[in-house]
Amino acid sequence: MKKKERALIISQTELAAGIFEMRLAAPQISSCAVPGQFVMVGIRDESHILPRPISICEADKALGQIRLVYRIAGEGTREMSTYLPGTSIDLTGPLGKGYPLDAVNEDTTALIVGGGIGIPPLLGLSKALNCTRKIVLGYRDELFLDHDFESCGNIYISTDTGSHGVKGTVMDAISQYQIKPDIIFACGPLVMLKAVKGFAAEKGIPAFISLEERMACGIGACLGCVVKTPERDNHSNVNNTRVCTEGPVFDSREVLL
């Protein structure tokens, strides 16, 4: 269900260089958010910047709060990082389709793979999945949120620099630790998602991937986020799908990367 909500910033913390965590009081959005969904964050009027999509890292229904973790990429996210606790901002959400929690049961071994700023939405997912969880987190160098995952399952780290865990990519960690999943859930850069899609196809297992890299209006209007699909859409007869409304989470077999 789509909702606009004025949310109060409760805290703003720098978790690692250029990576911020914002906790917000947003009772409506927190009451119905599913892991993998996102919000459009309204950048305050004076900047004239359009709202920016940020995934919901976690939603706490009881407290009526959500947690966003974001990296400063440009002007919009830089301005977000200056907002102090006590400031109110406009959010629209929860938007998009989240991860299918019912794709697992208690006998399933799920591989949860996050790369860089794709890691945050996997925290809410990891807490919600009712199965064995093997969690692979890939970073450039500095870690963030890794301790938050500790209660969810076995954690495996990779870093580009080798400062922590396996030196290399998440795929190197999966191979080194010989992880044999029944299903994969992933979020991260396109190059990582392509590798995950290929791995899943090779093993003949399903993979649900979140395509966070492509977005413009966020509400289905501009077609700025379309990705190619192998099948034609019955309604419009084209091989396209919108990331913002039909995604951002897709079965990897349903999109061409």
Binding site for ligand FAD (CB under 6 A): 38, 49, 52-55, 69-71, 73-77, 117, 120, 212-213, 215, 248
Distance CA 204, CA 166 (A): 26
List, as one string, the DSSP characters of 93-127: EEESB---GGG--TT-EEEEEEEGGGSHHHHHHHH
Cα–Cα nearest to 143, from 121, 160, 125, 124: 160
Answer yes or no whether residue 218 interacts with ligand FES by CB under 6 A.
yes
Distance CA 120, CA 245 (A): 20
74 binds, among ligand FES, ligand FAD, none (CB under 5 to 8 A by kind): ligand FAD
Answer yes or no whether residue 233 interacts with ligand FES by CB under 6 A.
no
By beta-carbon proximity to ligand FES, the closer residue of 90 and 172 is 90
Answer yes or no whether residue 95 interacts with ligand FES by CB under 6 A.
no
Answer yes or no whether residue 223 interacts with ligand FES by CB under 6 A.
yes
Give the nearest distance from C-beta 182 to ligand FAD in angstroms: 26
Give the nearest distance from C-beta 86 to ligand FAD in angstroms: 22
Amino acid at 251: D
Angle at CA of residue 23, ends 21 and 25, nearest 5°: 165
199 binds, among ligand FES, ligand FAD, none (CB under 5 to 8 A by kind): none
Give the nearest distance from C-beta 52 to ligand FAD in angstroms: 4
* Among 244, 248, 252, 255, interactor with ligand FES by CB under 6 A: 244
CB 195 within 8 Å of CB 173: no
By beta-carbon proximity to ligand FAD, the closer residue of 120 and 165 is 120
CB 110 within 8 Å of CB 129: yes
Distance CA 208, CA 134 (A): 15
Which residue ranges make up the site for ligand FES (CB under 6 A)? 215-218, 220-225, 242-244
